[in-house]
């Protein structure tokens, strides 16, 4: 059965769940968890989304994420790829860390945002790890209580439901979560009988989502298609880029390939490195130099836009 389309529109809120492959652990110590924090922060700086609440369990992660212009799929794929690379390096292992496709549920903020944050914070209690949510150090609960500062976490949208006075809002929020310990969590977050498990909200919300849904995403280019597009853009013969010399033009063209693969393709820089005979660090550095230059070099910025157009045109023909 074909996978259903991921849903994206700016401002959307998602409950994201990342699980370890075959229920294996994804965090081995606090160093791993702090690395995950760092990757969350770097992702926010790069993609412009927000994390409103989270909980890092031993073998899975819960995130409440609000996106901007960048689709959630790109955000989570980047996070999962970079964290998998970290764990594989630390544990001297290879292969997948996370279970298949991550789960993402588009949530009606007006209806469920408070309950979802409470549900996420109460995960350690449901797992019998702690008796109270504030005793668990790897969730956003302590930040909501004012006991921890996480600069990349946005607590204001949730606390605003309880008023403009921060101290009273924090107190009311904690009372709300503690009340849910006694009353139990909202069944909607673990129910599997809803018609479309991509949504959580009333019929009016689902109708609104369908109206905002983007068309099916075009197929993303693979490495050889990116190389062909760059060769076309720079007027190079077929195969000329792989055998390229060290001239400034060729160096820029290789950087353009690396940039396009990272930004527009599902392939990785590791895959590209095997094709071009370059290591990932070199390719990543070349992307940084290229994007920095594009801010002041109008012609380079135009070439980057033109490359995007070429790849979109190609994808349209293949769709």
Instruction: Considering only residues 25 and 96, tell me which one the structure prediction assigns the higher pLDDT.
Output: 25
Residue 19 confidence class, pLDDT cut points 50, 70, 90 = very high
Residue 2 confidence class, pLDDT cut points 50, 70, 90 = very low
pLDDT of residue 38: 97
pLDDT of residue 317: 44
- Six-digit token string for 138: 């790897």
pLDDT of residue 310: 76
- Cβ pair 172, 163 in contact under 8 A: yes
Of the ranges 19-28, 212-221, 270-279, which one carries the lowest mean pLDDT score?
A: 212-221
- Cβ pair 63, 103 in contact under 8 A: no
List, in order of start, the domains of the chain with CATH numbers: 13-212 (3.30.70.1290), 223-318 (1.10.1750.10)
- Cβ pair 224, 232 in contact under 8 A: no
Residue 313 confidence class, pLDDT cut points 50, 70, 90 = low
- What residues contact 187, with CB distance under 8 A and at least 6 apart? none
Instruction: Considering only residues 111 and 18, tell me which one the structure prediction assigns the higher pLDDT.
Output: 18
pLDDT of residue 237: 78
Instruction: Considering only residues 278 and 242, tell me which one the structure prediction assigns the higher pLDDT.
Output: 278
- Cβ pair 67, 14 in contact under 8 A: yes
Q: What element of type H or E holds 89? A: helix 72-91
Mean pLDDT within 110-123: 90
- Cβ pair 180, 166 in contact under 8 A: no
Give me the phi and psi of 65, to 5 degrees please.
Answer: -120, 135
pLDDT of residue 105: 86
pLDDT of residue 191: 47
Q: How do beta strands 60-66 and 13-19 pair?
A: antiparallel
Measuring CA to CA, how many Å separate 273 from each of 69, 265, 278? 29, 14, 5
SS3 54: strand
Measuring CA to CA, how many Å separate 160 from each of 113, 173, 300? 12, 10, 44
Q: State how far the Cα of 222 lies from the Cα of 267, in Å rounded to an integer.
A: 6
pLDDT of residue 40: 97
Q: State how far the Cα of 136 lies from the Cα of 317, in Å rounded to an integer.
A: 52
Q: State how far the Cα of 135 lies from the Cα of 142, in Å rounded to an integer.
A: 8
Whether residue 144 has pLDDT greater than 60: yes
Instruction: Considering only residues 83 and 312, tell me which one the structure prediction assigns the higher pLDDT.
Output: 83
Mean pLDDT within 175-186: 78
- Cβ pair 117, 158 in contact under 8 A: yes
Name the percent of the chain lying above pLDDT 70.
82
Q: What element of type H or E holds 100? A: none
213-247 tens-digit pLDDT: 554 445 677 888 888 888 888 888 777 777 656 67
Instruction: Considering only residues 6 and 265, tell me which one the structure prediction assigns the higher pLDDT.
Output: 265
């Amino acid at each position: 059965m074909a996978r259903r389309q991921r849903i994206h529109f700016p401002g959307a809120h998602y409950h994201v769940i990342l699980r370890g492959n075959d229920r294996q652990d994804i965090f081995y110590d606090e160093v791993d968890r702090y690395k995950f924090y760092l990757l969350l922060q770097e992702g926010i700086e790069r993609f412009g989304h927000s994390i409103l609440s989270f909980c890092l369990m031993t073998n899975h992660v819960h995130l409440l994420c609000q996106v901007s212009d960048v689709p959630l799929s790109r955000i989570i794929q980047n996070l999962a790829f970079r964290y998998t690379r970290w764990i594989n390096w630390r544990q001297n292992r290879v292969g997948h860390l996370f279970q298949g496709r991550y789960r993402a549920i588009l949530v009606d903020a007006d209806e469920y945002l408070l309950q979802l944050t409470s549900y996420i914070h109460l995960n350690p209690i449901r797992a019998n790890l702690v008796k109270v949510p504030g005793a668990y150090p790897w969730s956003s609960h302590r930040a909501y209580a004012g006991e921890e500062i996480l600069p990349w976490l946005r607590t204001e949208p949730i606390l605003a439901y309880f008023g403009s006075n921060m101290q009273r809002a924090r107190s009311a929020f904690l009372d709300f979560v503690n009340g849910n310990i006694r009353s139990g969590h909202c069944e909607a977050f673990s129910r599997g009988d809803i018609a479309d498990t991509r949504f959580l909200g009333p019929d009016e919300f689902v109708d609104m989502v369908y109206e905002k849904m983007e068309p099916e995403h075009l197929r993303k280019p693979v490495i050889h298609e990116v190389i062909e597009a760059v060769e076309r853009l720079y007027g190079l013969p077929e195969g000329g880029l792989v055998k390229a010399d060290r001239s400034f033009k060729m160096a820029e063209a290789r950087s353009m390939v690396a940039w396009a693969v990272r930004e527009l393709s599902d392939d990785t820089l590791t895959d590209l490195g095997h094709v071009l005979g370059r290591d990932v660090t070199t390719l990543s550095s070349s992307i940084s130099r290229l994007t920095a230059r594009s801010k002041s070099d109008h012609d380079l910025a135009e070439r980057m836009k033109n490359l995007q157009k070429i790849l979109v045109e190609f994808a349209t023909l293949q769709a």
